[in-house]
């Protein structure tokens, strides 16, 4: 099993292009005109979004057992 992660956005870098939401296989990211949103319950920790962001705005944080 891959390590469970939480995806975090750097809002200073993100320009809301929607690319990450488009590649996420489980629709765990929603990008609107003014907001980037992450849904932990849908995320399967595949990291595809992190590699897909053209400006490196996404990072993975380890998800503790308490979260
Ligand atoms: S791919 Fe990167 S820049 Fe585009 S919406 Fe996602 S986090 Fe923001
Ligand atoms: S790690 Fe995978 S499942 Fe989680 S938000 Fe990114 S693309 Fe979606």
Ligand 2 pocket residue status of 6, Cβ below 6 Å? no
Which residues does residue 61 pair with via DSSP β-bridges, in sequence order? 6
The protein residue whose alpha carbon is closest to atom 7 in ligand 2 is 24
Given a cut of 80, whether residue 1 has pLDDT beyond it is no
Q: Average pLDDT of the chain?
A: 94
At a CB cut-off of 8 Å and minimum separation 6, what does 42 contact? 26, 27, 28
Which ligand is in closest contact with the Cα of 7?
Answer: 2
- Is the CATH number 3.40.640.10 carried by domain 5-62? no
Q: Return d(Cα 56, Cα 44) in angstroms, integer.
A: 20
Domain boundaries, the chain: 5-62
In this prediction, residue 3 carries a pLDDT of 83
In this prediction, residue 49 carries a pLDDT of 98
Average pLDDT over every residue of 40-66:
93
Ligand 2 pocket residue status of 47, Cβ below 6 Å? yes
Given a cut of 80, whether residue 32 has pLDDT beyond it is yes
- H/E stretch holding 31 reads strand 29-31
pLDDT band, very low/low/confident/very high, at 11 (cuts 50, 70, 90): very high
pLDDT band, very low/low/confident/very high, at 65 (cuts 50, 70, 90): low
């Amino acid at each position: 099993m891959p390590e469970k992660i939480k995806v975090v956005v750097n809002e200073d870098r993100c320009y809301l292009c929607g690319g990450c939401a488009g590649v996420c296989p489980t629709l765990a990211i929603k990008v609107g005109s003014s907001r980037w949103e992450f849904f932990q319950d849908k995320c399967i920790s595949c990291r595809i979004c992190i590699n897909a962001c053209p400006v490196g705005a996404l990072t993975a944080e380890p998800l503790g057992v308490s979260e």
